[in-house]
Structure 1
Amino acid sequence: MDFTNASLTELRVFREVAERGTLTSAAAALGYTQSAVSRQISALERAAGVPLLERRRDGVRLTAAGHIVLRRATTVLDQIDATARELAGLPAEAGTVRVGWFTSAGAFLVPSAIAALRRTHPAIRVISREGSTPALVRALRAGSVDLAVLASAPPFRPPDAESPPLELLTLAERSLRLAVPATHPFARRDSVDVADLRGQRWIAGPSTGEEQLMGVWPGLDERPEIAHTARDWLAKLHLVAAGCGLTTVPASLTPTAPSGVRIVAVHGGPQEQRRILLARLPHPLTEPVARLSEALRAAASESGAAP
């Protein structure tokens, strides 16, 4: 074993694989072939003398040794990138914080927090990205984001089983609602019974194998008819406005519903609650990360959805 022979390219490829969860996704992000990514990983594992990844049918998972290498690789790569910026005469990124967020958090919570932070601490630079909750958890573990705004559904399990456990803060807890066209019979009611949802057409997010089918009311006792698929929540609501079907939305998005959409409650069956979590690794916070965390908490409180 001679890990000193590990190259920066191998470390970058390894970090990308750890974040993306599959060799195929990492290859696409890097512009490499899958075989090239596989060769880089194999070379790094030879240098380490132990397996760094557990290959599974649904992707890869880091081994205990892989977690050690990822933690050290992230530190090394960040230092190399900082050195390159300094040599190029670019400003240091000490005032930068990177945040990831799931789709509907971008409707109000994240923009409000960033806007507030710009007013109070204009020198802090925020870089944000959207992603699914599983992808954002991997990005946290890979060191690609400092904070992640995640979605959580009952029974509210931890977002992953890796060690160390993520630090989690509940920013908001809200009920799930139903978005219906203004011309739909449901639009004349303040609420509908879950039994009335049988036989409806639905607008849902595409199934990725990582997340539950989003957009269909949970627990229906029939196979739902999916009329349209869309990941973006605004696209779903505009499809609802066009009379194309029904979709679910968090109650906090009610004020943002476009014309032609009515938001109603659903009764019967288990109460459907959703949480917005702020996740991070259990490390000491830099000032930019701490300031953005505070801004996100304040934005959640102002929205009236805080726990």
Structure 2
Amino acid sequence: MLDVRRLQVLRAVVTSGTVTAAAAHLGYTPSAVSQQVAALEKQAGTPLLERVGRGVRPTAAGLLLTEHAALIGSAVAQAESALADLRAGRTGTLSLRYFATAGSTLVAPALARLRVEHPGIRIDLELADPDDPVQDVLRGRADLAVVVQPRGRAGDGHRVVHLLDDPYAAVLPEDHRFADRDVLDLHELAGEQWVGSEPPGPCLEPVTDACSAAGFTPDFIVKSEDYATAQGFVAAGLGVGLMPRLGLRAPHPGVVVIPVRNPEPIRVISAVARETSLGQPALRGLLEALREAATARPAG
């Protein structure tokens, strides 16, 4: 295999016309340059230079390798430039996983800011369940995930960055006996029939845990995993529900939304990234944009 460094030495000799001039250009001694050329000739199995007066000129083989050395040098320069752009966050791809209610409120404005600050970055978006994307991040299939999980949970080579606390509110039919209340104590809904809006997992747990703390288990008679559909069920009088504020930004006209307390269920929305990926400027920029979006759009 031909030595790339020796190819560049040969190119310097050919373009300079003499070993001495090439040595001055490269910062080598003439003897070192001659040794490099001799070693390359041994690798090539044929002479690469011939003397002409006080200088040298390439043989056919020497001219061939000089041309390829120029191509290699150009390719290396392009690779170095591309690497510098990637390190600086000017180019590259970021893979982002998110769940539905975080899409319009957090992800969309964050990506708009990232596009301004890092216009050369391509974003690979994928909608996922609120807790599943953590494994994609840990296994390197995603760079960042917006998830629902407890604040401060870290370890296993990943970092959890808190974005916002998203409180749940009571969703009642507009003709419900509590419809004119400013706030409800959670235990007041103990005897109601319930409309479920969450699948099993981190979004349902705050509801069931809060109801348990209030002394009852909700009686889910209808279940939906879509907030718009669940609100439709509530509006039809099929039951009451607890839904997060991010899922209630477009309330159904037939429902009322009332804060609850004692206790108030809250889901914690965070961003998860691998520790080893946090050195990427574009990834750090996306995290900062998500934090800014969360601050600009408080859940309550």
Q: Normalising by structure 1, what TM-score?
A: 0.58
Match of 1:37 in 2: none
Within-5 A mapping of 1:78-117: 94-117=91-114
CA-to-aligned-CA distance 1:131-177 (integer Å, 9 cap, x gap): 23431111111111111112135xx4627xx623x211111124321
Identify which of 224, 240, 245 aligns with 1:230: 224
CA-to-aligned-CA distance 1:70-128 (integer Å, 9 cap, x gap): xxxxxxxxxxxxxxxxxxxxxxx953211112342124112222233335544322222
Per-residue deviation at 1:246? 2.1
Does the residue aligned with 1:185 lie in a helix, a strand or coil? coil
Within-5 A mapping of 1:281-300: 281-283=274-276, 284-300=278-294
User: Which stretch shifts more, 233-242 or 290-299?
Assistant: 233-242
Per-residue deviation at 1:180? 1.7
- Which blocks of at least 5 consecutive residues in structure 1 are unaligned? 1-92
- Which blocks of at least 5 consecutive residues in structure 2 are unaligned? 1-89
Q: Which amino acid aligns with 1:128?
A: L
Answer with 1 or 2: which has the greater Rg.
2
Per-residue deviation at 1:252? 4.3
Per-residue deviation at 1:264? 0.7
Q: Distance in 2 between matches of 1:298 and 1:184?
A: 38
Task: Name the CA shift for 1:209/1:173 in 2 (closer, same or farther; >3 Å).
Answer: closer
2:172/2:240 contact within 8 Å kept: yes
Per-residue deviation at 1:130? 2.7
Q: In the alignment, is residue 204 of structure 1 matched against residue 192 of structure 2?
A: no
Match of 1:137 in 2: 134
2:207/2:265 contact within 8 Å kept: no
CA-to-aligned-CA distance 1:219-255 (integer Å, 9 cap, x gap): 2533422122222233323333333322222234444
Match of 2:211 in 1: 218
In the alignment of these two chains, the number of paired residues is 208
Does the residue aligned with 1:108 lie in a helix, a strand or coil? helix
Match of 2:182 in 1: 190
Q: Which amino acid aligns with 1:158?
A: R
Cα RMSD after superposing both structures: 2.9
Does the residue aligned with 1:256 lie in a helix, a strand or coil? coil
Q: Which amino acid aligns with 2:94?
A: V
Identify which of 232, 251, 268 aligns with 1:275: 268
2:197/2:225 contact within 8 Å kept: yes
1:167/1:279 contact within 8 Å kept: yes
Per-residue deviation at 1:280? 0.7
Match of 1:241 in 2: 235
1:205/1:215 contact within 8 Å kept: no
2:197/2:243 contact within 8 Å kept: no
Match of 1:57 in 2: none
1:100/1:129 contact within 8 Å kept: yes
2:190/2:216 contact within 8 Å kept: yes
CA-to-aligned-CA distance 1:15-57 (integer Å, 9 cap, x gap): xxxxxxxxxxxxxxxxxxxxxxxxxxxxxxxxxxxxxxxxxxx
Q: Distance in 2 between matches of 1:108 and 1:99?
A: 15
Q: Which amino acid aligns with 2:153?
A: P
* Identity rate, percent: 26
Per-residue deviation at 1:266? 1.3
Does the residue aligned with 2:293 lie in a helix, a strand or coil? helix
Identify which of 109, 115, 118 aligns with 2:115: 118
Per-residue deviation at 1:190? 1.3
Per-residue deviation at 1:302? 0.7
Does the residue aligned with 1:189 lie in a helix, a strand or coil? coil
Q: In the alignment, is residue 172 of structure 1 matched against residue 167 of structure 2?
A: no
Per-residue deviation at 1:178? 1.4
Q: Distance in 2 between matches of 1:301 and 1:210?
A: 22
Q: Distance in 2 between matches of 1:286 and 1:238?
A: 44
Task: Name the CA shift for 1:185/1:291 in 2 (closer, same or farther; >3 Å).
Answer: same
